[in-house]
Amino acid sequence: MNMNKSVRRAFLQLLVCFFLLAAFAFAQNGGELRFCLRSEPKTFDPALVDDDASVAIRYLTGGVLVRANRKTQDLEPELAESWSVSKDSKQITFKLRHGILFSDGSPFSAEDVAFTMQRLMDPALHSSTGDAFRSGSGTVSTKIIAPDQIAITFPAPLAGLEHLFDQVAIMSAHSPKKEGAVLGPFMVAEYKAGSSVLLKRNPNYWKKDAAGRRLPYLDSVRLDIQPNRDVEMLRFKRGELDLINSVDSDYFDRLAASSPQLVHDAGASLDYEFLWFNQVASAPIPEYKRAWFRSVNFRRAISQAVNRDDLSRIVFNGHAQPAVGPVSPANKFWFNSKLKAEAYRPDAALKRLQDDGFHLQNGTLFDKAGNAVEFSIVTNAGSKPRERMAVMIQEDLGKLGIKVNVVTLDFPSLIERISQKFNYEAAMLGFRNVELDPNSQMTIWLSSGDNHAWNPQQKSPETAWEAEIDRLMRAQASTADPKKRKESFDRVQEIAAEQAPLIYLINQNALSAVSNAVAGANPVILNPQTFWNAERLTVNSQARASR
Amino acid sequence: MNLARKLACVVVVFVCAVSLAANWLAPVGYAKQFREAPGAPPSHEHWLGTDEVGRDRFARVLYGTRISLLLAPAAALVSTLLAALVGGLAGYLGGIWLRLARGFTDLFLSLPWLFLLITVRAVLPLNVSPLTSVLITFLILGLLGWAAAARVLSTSADALRNSDFVLQARASGLHGPRLFLIHVLPNLKPVLYAQFWISIPVFILSEANLGILGLGVAEPLPSWGSLLRELEGLMSFREEPWRLVPLVLLIVVMTSFQMLLSKEEVTA
């Protein structure tokens, strides 16, 4: 009888354990994550990805050899178990994992890596992901050492080579589904143009959690195409969306007021807003203005006359930091911590201008030839924060007697003016930095670069400091030694601060919103801030319905 | 004059007078930034609060009203005159001229004028003062906004050309410009008035749309268009009701303008 009782008790205990485990498993599994893409994805081909929407889909569907952990910023193995870079930074060898299958069931091997690299480097494809690997003239060669081992050789040294593979989604060499066969946690199941993209769980995804359960936990991810941020916010508030990857500061504060548990401020992001003056020799601007813009004292004075704290406080409601330079303090390794953001010092700014022969007369600043200081700042229309910043800079500079005309233009006209016709005086834009490595800024810093905003495509450097930056950028790109690279790029940041060719304004904070129905979310500053660990997220539909 | 028209007249005159007195009523000006109080609610210092960068909203509404009430009718006048010239003359002349004018207005109406405006703005010089930019904006609107009115006027003029009294005038020996000026144009007046009044709110709203595209009035100068842009992102009317003042003012003034039209002008 007693035995019967104890057996029954044990059975009941087992039953309770079973239900608890089942409940836990149920909680971990399933669910649909819903959020918005702000534009139509231009492609599902990972090699051709160039826009934010396609980047998000590639992140969720693409399997990569190595992945930069968005939280720690360290590189972690994914499809590659390990890798080694040659001393001359021209070759990288990957050791691949075994037994991995694409979403369509075809096996993954070194052949697929070789195929992906050859496709990326095909000049006819014009792949921007491939462009990052173009270190010099010559071809990129791949050598399959074994089915699980491959060496990729580049014609010239590529510093930070392994980091570039974070963006390379491996494609199948043999699958008839082409880009439809993926190695990432999700696969594209349905695409309704202008409406939504539905991603389903990849049943063959290779990763497992600590308990040995196959990832991802989610059944599907629904990406609604919604360019209107007001609608996106309304839908989030109604509980129709689970997260917003990047929230404007206005919306952030309003949401924080009503539901503080839903918003996340991860601190300064890698993105920055900046202003620069046109220094192009052939630009159709008066010669005396070109002389102002080419004067380091003039540029530094403008920089000192801008109240960055006010920009941060008023335009971004405090969700921004005064920018120091081309590298945000959020970039833990590459930021030059000796540098500080330019302080607001209108008196010092006026002193600098007077050193250059400028003088104030009846509240107007004149140069030494008697020309009143007046210039226009062009920026893109439709960006409220940028327009507000321009208005505040207009007032700040007005205090020095400088008349600023703010001109907002549609984006294509703006780009044409600043990069083709050079028909502008000063411009203000933002830089969306997705890479940590300074190699991604090569075209900004090399005087021959297309994105050397203030004076692009120079045949040879026009100033000594630009020549020095060219030398330093090439030096850091041609060595694999992180310490030497850091030293070189630290000096580039110092020169940028001394010469102020670009006047850095603010680093916007990474603001996001995540529904309390989502478990496992840990918003970070690196893109994609909220769903970087999508494979480990779960959604509780009951919690969503109760919002 | 009925009571409604009297009331409308009072409203328009009052709004015009107040906006003209902006310098006295809002001496802080439309551009001064009170940076310690951005986005502030109404207070003793700022009757309608401040905008996102701390500018006094009451001052901006007054100055913006002045600009919009002065320049939108000016643009409407330009477009109505152009419409009268093209549509009225074509309708009066009839035949091939009428067909040509209608073809031309149809072609003009089918043009994506917003893109045309973007192109026009993109080629204009950058270094223009805010006042010049506002003049350019409304002038462009006036020069490009005549086609719809011209179509209406051509139809009316065509009907007048075949009317009995015009035929009688012709039979009495009246021809050419004299016939047009004495008999046709006065009878087109209600249509012209109606087109003029209709154009004003259209131009004000067009300027607001252009502001979003970067073609509107340059900062820091306010206009109803730029003030209406503040409503972007307003989630609820209850949130900050004072931000709705420019919208309410626009509705009240436009309604008053419509009420000022006589019955004949409305039916025209």
What chain A residue is nearest to B119 in terms of C-alpha separation?
A: A413
Peptide bond into B130 cis (omega under 30): no
Q: Within a 13 Å sphere around the CA of A279, how many CA atoms are in the beta-carbon half?
A: 26
- Tell me the pLDDT tens digit for each residue of B112-138: 877 777 777 777 788 888 888 888 888
CB contact under 8 A, A410 and B214: yes
d(CA A433, CA A437): 10
In this structure, how many other beta carbons lie within 10 angstroms of the beta carbon of residue B37?
16
Confidence band for B265, pLDDT divided at 50, 70 and 90: low
What pLDDT band is residue B190 in, cutting at 50, 70 and 90? confident
Sort out which chain B residues have CB atoms less than 8 A from A310's CB and list them.
35
How many contacts does A have with B, using Cβ atoms within 8 A?
A: 81
Cβ-nearest to B127 among A248, A405, A410: A405
- A148, pLDDT greater than 70: yes
| pLDDT the model gives residue A25 | 47
Q: What pLDDT score was predicted for residue A50?
A: 83
Residue A78 has pLDDT above 80, yes or no: yes
Report the chain A residue with the minimal C-alpha distance to residue B210.
A381
Span A206-218, pLDDT tens digits:
999 999 999 999 9
Q: To the nearest whole percent, how much of chain A has pLDDT over 70?
A: 94
In angstroms, rounded to a whole number, what is the distance separating the alpha carbons of residues A261 and A211? 29
A404 neighbourhood in chain B, CB within 8 Å: none
Rg of chain B in Å (alpha carbons): 22
* Top mean-pLDDT range of B123-127, B243-247, B259-263: B243-247
Domains of chain A: 63-181 (3.90.76.10), 269-508 (3.10.105.10)
Distance, in Å, from the CA atom of A277 to the CA atom of A398, rounded to the nearest integer, reads 17
Q: How far apart are the first and last CA of chain B?
A: 19
Quickly state the pLDDT bin for A23 (edges 50, 70, 90). Answer: very low
Is the preceding omega at residue A203 within 30 degrees of 0, hence cis?
A: no
CB contact under 8 A, A407 and B129: no
Least confident piece of the model among A91-95, A487-491, B31-35, B259-263:
B259-263
What 3 state SS string does B12-63 have? HHHHHHHHHCHHHHCCCCCCCECCCCCCCCCCCCCCCCECCCCEEHHHHHHH
pLDDT above 50 (res A22):
no
The predicted model gives A479-502 an average pLDDT of 94
Give the model's pLDDT for residue A27.
Answer: 47
> Do the Cβ atoms of B53 and A391 come within 8 Å?
yes
Q: Who has greater pLDDT, B201 or A9?
A: B201
Chain B CB contacts of A378 under 8 Å are 126
Which residues of chain B does A375 touch, with a Cβ-Cβ cutoff of 8 Å?
127
Beta strand pairing status for A186-192 and A196-201?
antiparallel
User: A-chain residues within 8 Å CB-CB of B215?
Assistant: 381, 410
CA distance A12 to A292: 85
Res A250 pLDDT > 80: yes
Provide the shortest C-alpha distance from residue A278 to chain B (in Å).
14
How large is the average pLDDT for residues A266-277?
Answer: 95
Tens of pLDDT, residue by residue over A437-463, are: 898 888 899 999 888 999 999 999 999
Distance CA A519, CA B143 (A): 58
What is the model's pLDDT at position A545? Answer: 60
- Quickly state the pLDDT bin for B174 (edges 50, 70, 90): confident
Strand-pair partners of A208: A214
Q: Which residues of chain B does A384 touch, with a Cβ-Cβ cutoff of 8 Å?
A: 52, 232
Q: Is the pLDDT of residue A1 over 80?
A: no
Task: Give chain B's contact residues with A (Cβ, < 8 Å).
Answer: 31, 33, 35, 38, 52-54, 118, 121-122, 126-130, 212-215, 218-220, 232-233, 235, 239
Predicted local confidence at residue A497, as pLDDT? 97
Mean pLDDT throughout A70-75? 91
Q: Kindly give, in sequence order, each residue whose CB lies less than 8 Å from that of residue A455, ignoring residues fewer than 6 positions away.
A: A279, A280, A281, A447, A462, A466, A501
Segment among A46-50, A88-92, A302-306, B133-137 with least mean pLDDT = B133-137
Q: Do A392 and B33 touch (CB under 8 A)?
A: yes
> Nearest C-alpha of chain A: how many angstroms from B236?
11
Name the minimum distance, in Å, from the CA of A388 to any CA of chain B: 7
* pLDDT tens for each residue of B20-29: 999 999 999 9
Interface residue of B51, B53, B229 to substitute, partner A, most A CBs within 10 Å? B53
Q: pLDDT tens digits, residue range B40-91?
A: 999 999 999 999 999 999 999 999 999 888 888 899 999 999 999 999 889 9
In a mutational test of the B interface, the residue from A314, A377, A411, A416 whose CB has the highest number of chain B CBs within 10 Å is A314
Residue A4 banded pLDDT, cuts 50, 70, 90: low
**Side chain identity, residue A8:** R
Question: What mean pLDDT, rounded, does chain B reach?
Answer: 86
* Average pLDDT for A315-342: 95
Contact B126 A407 (CB under 8 A): yes
Question: Of A18, A58, A217, A50, whose CA–CA distance to A129 is shortest?
Answer: A50
Q: Is A264 helix (H, G, I), strand (E, B) or coil?
A: strand
**Which chain A residues are closer than 8 Å to B35 by Cβ?**
310, 314, 392
Quick check: A420 pLDDT over 50? yes
Distance from CA of B68 to the nearest CA of A (A): 20
- Measured between alpha carbons, how far is B46 from B61 in angstroms, rounded to an integer? 12
Say if residues A512 and A530 touch (Cβ distance below 8 Å): yes
Judge whether residue B16 has pLDDT over 50: yes
pLDDT band per the 50, 70, 90 thresholds, residue B211: low
Interface test with B, best of A395, A402, A418 (most B CBs within 10 A): A395
Residue B212 pLDDT > 70: no
CATH code of domain B3-267: 1.10.3720.10
Given a cut of 50, whether residue B147 has pLDDT beyond it is: yes
Of A230, A387, A417, the CB nearest to B233: A230
Is the Cβ pair B214, A374 closer than 8 Å?
no
Nearest-Cα distance to chain A for B178, in Å, is: 48
Chain B nearest-CA distance from A230, in A, is 6
Supply the pLDDT for residue B125.
81
Pick the residue from chain B with its C-alpha nearest to A230: B233
